[in-house]
Structure formats: C-alpha cells, structure tokens
Amino acid sequence: MRKVGLIGCGHVGATVALDIVQGGLVDELIIIDKKREKAEAEVLDLLDALSLLPFYVEIYVGEYTDLVNADIILSTLGHIELIKPGGDRFTELKANIPEIKEVSEQLNRINFKGILIATTNPNDVIVNLYSQLLNLPQSHIIGTGTYLDTARMKAQVSKALKIDGRAIEGYVLGEHGNSQFTAWSTVRVGDNLF
C-alpha cells in the first residue's frame, strides 16, 4: 500500500494533495492541519474530484497516530502570510520553528520510519531542523530546495525565447531564498548551451 501523510493544508498543501489524488500516486492520503475545518473542506473537494477519476484513493483528515506506517510524509505547513512584498522566506522562521518541533515530537512519538519531504520555508533551515529533531536517517529527510526556483527559471527562459519549457535544461543552485542563483553554465536549450 502506498500511504502518504500531508501536514499543512494551506495553498501549497491543498495543491499537492490535489496533484497526488489526480495522479493516482497513492492508495491512502491522510491530511493533518491545525485548522481542522479547512482540512475537512479540502478533503470534501478531493472526494468530489475523486468521483471523476479512474482509480480510488482513501482520503481523510487524520491524527498523527494515523501516520505510523506512512511511506512518505509531506510537511507543507507554513506562514506565507507573514512575508510582505519584497520580503524573504526567513520571515516565516520564527513562526515555523515551534510547529516543526511539534510535528517532530509527534512523529518521534509514533516512531515514524518513512521519508519526510519538506516544502516549509526557509526550506534549507527547516530541513536541517528536522534532521536534528527527527529519529530518522538524514537520507530520509528531503527538502524541495531550489526545485521550484529551477522550474520558475525554466518558465522565464521559455517565455523569453518563446519555446516549450520542456526543451530547457538547467539548474538554480544555492539556498532556497535571496542567495540562490541560476547556474547559467548548466542551462541548455535543446542541444545548445544558453
């Protein structure tokens, strides 16, 4: 069975949940959020969407004890509302640290042994914090890092060159934040260096 837990059902969490369900990527999806009513509303929407798909996914709002044998847990919690225009991702850190500590305590309590993927910002700092707090090998704690930034770069190059973004290869490197940079030496359009 492919069992995934999703902690945090804001904009990112809800989008990830929809992608997981539409892709038929799991057999069971458990959503946990401090705002239980919000999570329940998202689950209702997902169940509606599920009725149009060719496969079944068990979807429900759960508790940490439901995650005991989860294969993967996605940490998408955060406080994006704290970031003002022009601000940086570190603005969320003070609010996110206590929540990461609480999640870690809960996951350690149930002896979670799967893989944790974090999108929470500031991503590199949060992944490091999870590494310190969770009873998991470091290889089981993954951050999305600059993956999204790489997608954004490819979209901008695609737009500027008016070509399909799938023809573009390359990477944004560094810390997911103000110090990240495009490694232009890695950027290719088809077989050509950019």
Q: Active-site residues: which are they?
A: 176
Q: Sign of torsion, CA 148 149 152 158? A: negative
Residue 176, beta-bridge partner list: none
Alpha-carbon distance of 108 to 81, in angstroms, equals: 29
Alpha-carbon distance of 8 to 120, in angstroms, equals: 9
Give the DSSP per-residue string, 67-126. Answer: GTT-SEEEE----GGGPPTT--GGGGHHHHHHHHHHHHHHHHHTT--SEEEE-PSSHHHH
